[in-house]
Amino acid sequence: EIYSIKNISSDCAVAVKYENEDKYYICRNAYYKPETLGQFINDLDLKNTLDFDAVYGSQKKKGESSDIEYYDWDKEKVWELLFSNTEAKAVKDYDSLNFEMAVDISINIKLLGYENISLSVSRDGYITTNILDTGKAFYIGKAASEKFINYLQNEYKTKVLETYDYSEPNYTSDSKS
């Protein structure tokens, strides 16, 4: 038997119950392609099902790059800054684009069996995610993504996770020509 999931569009996912079993299984539609961010939010009831976990980024100081984690950030502010443009169009050919991600947010949608999946923000104005198992991107605008990135950088403390030194090594040669 196939059942709808409360407040989730059947275009996105359904619950299946097999004969002689008491358990329900989630069947997700990896080929679901929303037209707008608003449709995506509504079809998955993201306002009620999406949990933000951790926010990661990078910083450069004194020639070194570091992976960082932001902490004690306001989830409502994140929601407001990233999801307020419900008219943001979905990218049609996700795989043909090369996104330079500035911030990665670990998210959960436990109702659909997702834990620690990605919602990312690029400097060039996109949010991307792999909700429903395939890549999706929405163009929220460069100003909106920069506002979000600046908000994190200016308002919240960070913890350095790893530091990288990308300077060129000094090579010396002992061989004589």
pLDDT of res. 95: 84
Q: Is the pLDDT of residue 177 over 80?
A: no
Residue pLDDT, tens place only, 110-164: 999 999 999 999 999 999 999 999 999 999 999 999 999 999 988 888 888 888 7
Among 84, 81, 47, 94, smallest CA distance to 155 is for 81
For residue 8, give the amino acid letter. Answer: I
Q: How many angstroms separate the CA atoms of 49 and 129, rounded? A: 15
- Mean pLDDT across 33-45: 98
Distance, in Å, from the CA atom of 148 to the CA atom of 143, rounded to the nearest integer, reads 9
Degrees (nearest 5) of the Cα angle 138, 143, 149? 85
Q: Is the pLDDT of residue 94 over 90?
A: no
